[in-house]
Amino acid sequence: MKKIILVLLICVILILGYWLISPFWRNKVVSENLPNTIDNISEDKKDNEIMIFKKGTFTGFDKIHNGSGDIVLVQINGKNYIRFEENFNVNNGPDLYVGLGKNGEYIKDSELGKLKGNIGSQNYELPENINFENVHEVWIWCKAFSVPFAKAILFDF
């Protein structure tokens, strides 16, 4: 009986270890275009109105928690998006999310969604209750360990 419990415990530890460590050597590349909102426009207005309000660049915290690349806050036909540009790159890790921060502090429960990929362009829609003027920092945050991976400070464009 003790051998069975020991074997099960070892299996659980190996599975958990693989889940925690494997993202560090695997990359997920994403290549999203800007959101296509042409379907949401009335017939008399065929052009998407795209306005860039803020820009920034990702920086990391150390060699393990490192990121780079450009980020913009855009408005397309009244909807606000955070866009990671094609040169976005962050070290992969377990349970990474995109969230917001202010004054160098991550705002808990501000997640916009799970990170789609650690390399490449991607878009995250801001909820309507968040005013784009109040978005100052975008963070890549590991929820499993409450650790920051990368941060971008946004500046007016």
pLDDT, tens only, 9-55:
998 988 887 766 666 668 899 999 988 754 444 444 455 688 899 99
Residue with the larger pLDDT of the pair 108 and 44: 108
Residue with the larger pLDDT of the pair 151 and 157: 151
Q: What is the pLDDT of residue 64?
A: 85
Q: What is the pLDDT of residue 99?
A: 96
Residue with the larger pLDDT of the pair 153 and 78: 153
Instruction: Flag whether pLDDT at 122 surpasses 70.
Output: yes
Q: What is the pLDDT of residue 39?
A: 47
Residue with the larger pLDDT of the pair 132 and 51: 51
How much is the mean pLDDT over the chain? 87
Matching CATH number, 2-29+49-156, of 2.60.120, 2.60.40, 3.90.320, 1.10.3470: 2.60.40
Q: What is the pLDDT of residue 35?
A: 84
Instruction: Flag whether pLDDT at 125 surpasses 60.
Output: yes
What CA–CA distance (Å, rounded) separates 155 from 36?
Answer: 25
Instruction: Flag whether pLDDT at 147 surpasses 90.
Output: yes
Residue with the larger pLDDT of the pair 37 and 126: 126
